[in-house]
Amino acid sequence: MNAADLGLPVDVPSTALFTDQYELTMLQAALRGGTADRRSVFEVFTRRLPEGRRYGVVAGTGRVLDAVENFRFDAGVLGFLRERGIVDEPTLEWLADYRFGGDIWGYPEGEVYFPGSPILRVEGSFAECVLLETVILSILNHDSAIAAAASRMSAAAGGRRLIEMGARRTHELSAVAAARAAYVGGFSSTSDLAAGFRYGIPTVGTSAHAFTLLHDTERDAFRAQVESLGRGTTLLVDTYDVAEAVRTAVEIAGTELGAVRIDSGDLLLVAHRVRQQLDELGARDTKIVVTSDLDEYAIASLAAAPVDAYGVGTQLVTGSGHPTCSMVYKLVARAESADPRAPLRSVAKKSLGGKASVGGRKWAARRPDADGVAEAEVVGTGPVPADLVDRQLMAELVKGGDVVAREPLDAARERHMAALAGLPMSAIQLSRGEAVIPTEYV
């Protein structure tokens, strides 16, 4: 289902103003100069991975498709542009009929990427493509950063469940997108109900310290929660004394108690003590959930602890130190005239400081070694070598303005697990290093 069809309060009537003003002023100048209709190719890529990261994760593709479909200049938007004098009347008339009618190819959501990977390729007239730059980058830079952090945390968790619970640590709309990206990256559930409603992500949650403090005793709080939510609930046991709380929890819920949550202290030590106590009380099936400002390094440090699930908030929704992927949207080819038959000419930015780009309409493939493990990201502009034809990474997403590749979120999640499994084992190391495979240009 198209997310826009759900009619959520977090939806906006148009994505057209999720852009920078210079997209519109470039459009006006191109219309006046007669170059707006030149066939053009834009590509999204990053020149480098965030420091210490060994791979990137493509996330937000589904949201990009929604944004492109909803990029419309309705009367209210046009009125705003007219009132501010941002563009002239001929440009406003052109915008009133705007519908993206080009083609988009890209790495499918959940796939991994490396420096120089053509993550997304947008083709059409200069006018229709240039307007999409900011909204595409906004979505991909945010979501891919969250998904990469989630992927590293998932690898560190070693198969234990991960719960996304960072809604209170970011903008309310970013929280929904972050939960979605975290799910792609390996998290199993979220505390954010808007994300559950909009994207079908499993939601979880029981109680906070405030619920315990509300009651005259911890026993009263536990009893109220168990009577309301059942014995399989998760009880928060570190409001006062952990050992006493665990004892009380089992007395009230019995050995059918679902889980206990620990939110403070030396989590490694406390988890071991709680596990021993639960086992001694006969609650051997009761799980232990830990929270408290976790990141991938803290999760890895708890590998030897008897922990069944981790709840992660702040570090996840801020990309664990890297809140953006530094992706850019660059013109790499354009026709020499507005004639649809005019051939494409490669163009590229030449500059100092590492900001140069590689021109040409590109394809990408991942070359495996003799054991089937990826050994290089191959990017080219000419014919695809025969041995790489079946290894190409880019899929058709939009054809003639119509979305042709919308898919369930679980498909992106499964794709990521498969992509990660195809990389060298060093990809999931948390120690600092370069990209796990090189990018080769042919």
- What is the topology classification, in CATH, of domain 3-131+326-441? nicotinate phosphoribosyltransferase (3.20.140)
Query: Parallel, antiparallel, or unpaired for β 112-113 and 374-380?
Result: unpaired
Contact 306, 289 (CB under 8 A): no
Domain with CATH 3.20.20.70 in the chain: 146-321
DSSP 367: E
Which residues are within 8 A (CB) of 296 and not within 5 positions of it... i.e. 6 or more apart?
149, 152, 153, 155, 156, 315, 320, 430
What is the distance between the alpha carbons of residues 61 and 424, in angstroms, rounded to a whole number? 25
Q: What is the DSSP string of 28-40?
A: HHHHHHT-TTSEE
pLDDT at 115: 97
What is the distance between the alpha carbons of residues 43 and 275, in angstroms, rounded to a whole number? 52
pLDDT digits (tens, 9 = 90+) for 181-212: 999 999 999 999 999 999 999 999 999 999 99
3-state helix, strand, coil in the chain (%, to 5): 40, 20, 40
Confidence class of residue 355 from pLDDT cuts 50, 70 and 90?
Answer: confident
Domain with CATH 3.20.140.10 in the chain: 3-131+326-441
Lowest mean pLDDT, pick from 62-66, 291-295, 356-360: 356-360
The tokens 């990209």 sit on which residue?
435
Q: Tell me how far CA of residue 228 lies from CA of 116, 189, 192, 205, 236, in angstroms.
A: 54, 22, 21, 13, 15
Task: Give me 28's structure tokens.
Answer: 């006006």
CA nearest neighbour of 108 among 361, 419, 362: 419
| pTM exceeding the 0.85 threshold for the entire prediction | yes
The 103-106 sheet, strands edge to edge: 344-346, 327-335, 39-46, 120-125, 103-106, 395-399, 402-403
CA nearest neighbour of 258 among 234, 241, 290, 227: 234
What is the distance between the alpha carbons of residues 298 and 121, in angstroms, rounded to a whole number? 37
- What is the topology classification, in CATH, of domain 146-321? TIM Barrel (3.20.20)
Residue 268: pLDDT over 90: yes
Rounded mean pLDDT, 253-261: 98
Cβ burial of 351 (10 Å; 0-12, 13-18, 19+) is exposed
What is the distance between the alpha carbons of residues 346 and 114, in angstroms, rounded to a whole number? 22
pLDDT at 3: 45
Residue-level length of the chain: 442
Confidence class of residue 334 from pLDDT cuts 50, 70 and 90?
Answer: very high
Question: Mean pLDDT, the chain, as a whole number?
Answer: 95
Residue 225: pLDDT over 60: yes
Q: What is the number of other CB atoms lying within 10 angstroms of the CB of residue 281? A: 17
